């Protein structure tokens, strides 16, 4: 898959690990920044990733900030983005099975790198279940 990733200063270190992992897993990674721990505004990085997901020029996005909260709020302003803030294996799996999430958000100050690796591996591997869950997504997509 083509995957755009982005982080603010609060998620920079985890983003570096995630970029390597996603690359090792054989995906095409587009790193939209940030590129250091210098302070930046998370909505700007969310926009760089979500504009690509919204336009369909990448398949998925991954966004990381300190908590994952700001990134997930900003990302879900885009019409074709379904961003999920995941903190563990279960939320990562369910965000794919039931919600067909196309943007994964994580908080570097909330989870360790081991948990983040499990979340990313799970989120990239699990398929959407479809069926009744598709109908539910369509209900809010029309809002």
Active site residues: 65, 98
Q: How far is the CB of 121 from ligand RB5 (least distance, A)?
A: 23
Q: Go through 100-132 and write b for each residue having 16 or more CB atoms within 10 A of its CB, e for each that does not.
A: bbbbbbbbbebbeeebbeebbebbbeeebeeee
8/31 with CB nearer ligand RB5: 8
Determine if 70 is a binding residue for ligand RB5 (CB under 6 A): yes
Q: Is the peptide bond before 34 cis (omega within 30 degrees of 0)?
A: yes
In angstroms, the Cα distances linking 105 to 47, 81, 131, 132 are 13, 12, 25, 24
Q: Binding ligand RB5 by CB under 6 A: which of 4, 5, 6, 8?
A: 8
Q: How far is the CB of 12 from ligand RB5 (least distance, A)?
A: 10
The nearer residue to ligand RB5, 68 or 124, going by C-beta atoms, is: 68
Q: Determine, following the binding rule CB under 6 A, whether residue 10 of this chain makes contact with ligand RB5.
A: yes
Among 67, 95, 102, 122, binds ligand RB5 (CB under 6 A): 67
In the structure, how many helices (H) and strands (E) does the chain have? 6, 5
Per-residue DSSP letters for 19-81? HHHHHHTT-EEEE----SSS---HHHHHHHHHHHHHHTSSSEEEEEESSSHHHHHHHTTSTT-
Binding mask 20-49 for ligand RB5 (x = CB under 6 A): ----------------------x-------
Among 2, 23, 30, 69, the residue binding ligand RB5 under the rule CB under 6 A is: 69
Site residues (vs ligand RB5, CB under 6 A): 8, 10, 42, 65-67, 69-70
């Amino acid at each position: 898959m083509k995957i755009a990733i982005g982080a603010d200063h609060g998620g920079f270190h985890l983003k570096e690990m995630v970029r390597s992992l996603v690359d090792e897993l054989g995906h095409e990674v587009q790193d939209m920044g940030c590129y250091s721990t210098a302070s930046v505004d998370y909505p700007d990085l969310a926009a760089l990733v979500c504009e690509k997901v919204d336009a369909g020029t990448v398949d998925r996005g991954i966004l990381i900030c300190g908590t994952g909260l700001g990134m997930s709020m900003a990302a879900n302003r885009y019409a074709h983005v379904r961003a999920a803030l995941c903190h563990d294996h279960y939320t990562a799996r369910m965000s794919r099975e039931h919600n067909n999430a196309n943007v994964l958000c994580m908080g570097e100050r909330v989870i360790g790198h081991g948990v983040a690796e499990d979340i990313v591996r799970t989120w990239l591997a699990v398929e959407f279940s479809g069926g009744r869950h598709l109908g539910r997504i369509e209900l809010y997509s029309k809002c």
